[in-house]
């Protein structure tokens, strides 16, 4: 029971910190503000984390691991490559819509990490990007897409999708599934053979 309570409090901590980092920025958010948001003393906070940067690192790693956990099974699935890519786009949007504060914090505040910690996150990000690159490359080899620069096309797709974090709102007029469909249509109409 105590372990479950600690786990719930830890999840609450990361959600609150990601929300504050997203809204105010990492450097403008103090440990005191985070503690006030979740209603704990500063001394209690260090039961969960070693430092503010440790908190940011955990948010960034979790954001990337959530995406990898959702996309890797699709990338390995026995599907035609273009159908696989469409499903990857749909799931990417669903995941960032569900965890927008964490993903925005990871994208925007990655630069706030120390070089060693930034490398840990960029390794996960590159692994994630490789799943999209490989799937796009398979589409080209299967003659589903025209001949194109696979690396730049993957960067363009991921950049386009990740930029939605800056303007997407869960209470906006268009839900994430419809945004994914619009982006898929734009992307596929630009690369199809």
Domain presence at residue 76: yes
Could you tell me if residue 137 is inside a domain? yes
Distance CA 7, CA 9 (A): 5
Give pLDDT tens digits for 19-34: 999 999 999 999 999 9
- Domain assignment of residue 101, given as a range: 51-191
179 pLDDT band (50/70/90 cuts)?
confident
Q: Is residue 13 part of a domain?
A: no
Q: What is the pLDDT of residues 36-74, one digit of tens each?
A: 998 888 888 777 888 999 999 999 999 999 999 999 999
In a domain, 175, yes or no: yes
Can you give the pLDDT at residue 165? 74
More confident residue, 90 or 166: 90
**Chain centroid to CA 169:** 15
**172 assigned to some structural domain:** yes
Q: Would you say residue 62 lies in a domain?
A: yes
- Tell me, what's the pLDDT at 44? 80
The answer to whether position 41 is within a domain reads: no
Residue 15 lies in a domain: no
Total domain count, the chain: 1
- Identify the CATH number of the domain in which residue 109 sits: 1.10.357.10
Instruction: Return the pLDDT at 83.
Output: 95
* Alpha carbon distance 2, 106 (integer Å): 30
Most confident of 2-11, 38-47, 65-74, 92-101: 65-74
Reduced to 3 DSSP states, what percent helix, strand and coil does the chain have, rounded to the nearest 5?
Answer: 80, 0, 20
Q: Is the pLDDT of residue 132 over 70?
A: yes
| Residue 101: count of CB within 10 angstroms of its CB | 20
Q: What is the pLDDT of residue 193?
A: 67
CA distances from 57 to 3, 22, 60 (A): 22, 14, 5
Provide the angle, in degrees to the nearest 10, between the axes of the packed helices 52-75 and 2-24.
100
| Range 100-124 average pLDDT | 95
């Amino acid at each position: 029971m105590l372990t479950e309570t600690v786990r719930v409090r830890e999840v609450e901590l990361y959600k609150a910190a990601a929300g504050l980092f997203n809204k105010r920025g990492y450097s403008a958010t103090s440990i005191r503000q985070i503690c006030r948001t979740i209603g704990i003393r500063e001394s209690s906070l260090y039961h969960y984390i070693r430092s503010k940067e440790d908190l940011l690192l955990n948010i960034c790693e979790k954001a990337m691991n959530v995406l990898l956990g959702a996309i890797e099974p699709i990338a390995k699935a026995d599907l035609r490559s273009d159908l696989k890519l469409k499903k990857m786009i749909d799931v990417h949007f669903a995941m960032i819509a569900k965890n927008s504060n964490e993903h925005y914090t990871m994208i925007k505040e990655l630069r706030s990490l120390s070089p060693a910690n930034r490398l840990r996150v960029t390794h996960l990000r590159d692994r994630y990007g490789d799943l999209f690159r490989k799937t796009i490359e398979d589409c080209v080899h299967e003659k589903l897409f025209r001949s194109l620069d696979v690396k730049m096309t993957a960067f363009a797709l991921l950049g386009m999708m990740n930029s939605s974090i800056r303007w997407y709102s869960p209470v906006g007029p268009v839900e994430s599934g419809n945004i994914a469909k619009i982006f898929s249509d734009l992307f596929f109409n630009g690369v199809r053979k």
